[in-house]
Structure 1
Amino acid sequence: MAAITLLRHGQASFGADNYDQLSELGHQQAYWLGQHLRRLDESYDRVLAGTMVRHDQTAQGVLSGLGEAIPVHYHAGLNEYDFQGLLTPLKAQHPEQWLETGHAKRDYYHNMKLALAYWMDGTITSDGTDSWPEFCARIQAAFAAACQDDAKRTLIVSSGGPVAVILQSVLQLGETKTRDLILQIKNSSTSKLLYNRVDLTLDSFNDISHLLTPDKKHGITFS
């Protein structure tokens, strides 16, 4: 039985000019996760990551905390959608539904939820690169390639969208539930799948055990 762990990157730089960088807390989340795994005497035979900066920074932070020098293999198929490529057409096509109250994170959640729904039903045709079916297809292709490896313990470092799409397939979820998963997955959380080379089974979801102590609870984030 093989285990495949899906890891969402640490907190990125929300509101900054370049979102695709971990914040100081994001780096800390990744390192804490590595330390937690080390205490549990857990490790990985293989590490895969998307090619985004936040994916690599998260992978390196985890490995640093783990105290192991495992090579990281990169696959662009594991990259996230372009959220701005969805929010811009949402604002242009549906200005009456656009929320801009000054509460940045609350407004983002409202607008992103709408944008994802319109992308999934084809009203928003693309995030600038992919339609929703194209996005799902490239994620599934990258994940299928990962499953063909003989590694017993694989870590895949990606983003909320790809993690949710993989779980959508495993759990046979509809698009509404998949959208909810995308917005629910916490930074530096892990979801573990068990794989017998035929079937995949969800073993755990959105695990943030490494943050559930009084000195680390401030590190529970979604964006």
Structure 2
Amino acid sequence: MKKLPFIIFCFIMLCAFGAGMNSYHRTESMIANDVNRALETALQQMPGNVVTTDTIQCYRNSLTIAELKDTACIVIRTVRRNDRLQTELVAEANCGFLTVLKLSDQKASSSLFFAGILWLTGSLWYIKRKKPELLMQGLSYGGIVFCNDKFMTHTGKLIHLTPMQHSLLEMFMTSETHTLSKKEICEKLWPKKPDASDTLYTLVRRIKPIVEANSNLKIESDRGRSYTLVYR
């Protein structure tokens, strides 16, 4: 559920991008159709494969998109058809990305973009507003909060633990004295293992730096007989 607002934000942004690109490509097609139609009109009025100043003027006057009148031109290309080289007149718009973007209708894309920004802003505000309430609902000790079966710091940062580390830290947090005997831990975590001393030692050694990095606590050992979660 915590990821849902961000998933929705990404979906809105993808829709905005898709709408923008769709409008951009439609405008590209519109520009291509306009210059091709203008060239066809110019050649009808001034037939021949010789491009003159009058031909270009007629071509540009036939354009319906005003932004193209200063950039559109006619070029002569050589192409191979039926193993023979031929020349043909081709209309080119000569407009860049920004011009096409300016001509395209980006209202839907812009609306979705701002809707996404508003959604993200509102979601972050809601999460920030609710975070203290969530922390208050949890079990807190030494800067570590245990809430909804998850461990986090007092700022709400999630503490990543392995399943065994999670179980051990939960035992420490839920204990009234925050002290656990070696026997108590082994029976809880490895009930079918005859001697789990080495396993317990490794588990404690690996969880110590995690606890110290995320809180004001540390784990102290009483000659291997018991372990206590205490303030540093």
TM-score, scaled relative to structure 1: 0.25
Structure showing the higher helix proportion among its residues: 2
Larger Rg: 2
Indicate the structure whose relative CO is greater, using CA pairs within 8 Å and at least 6 residues apart. 1
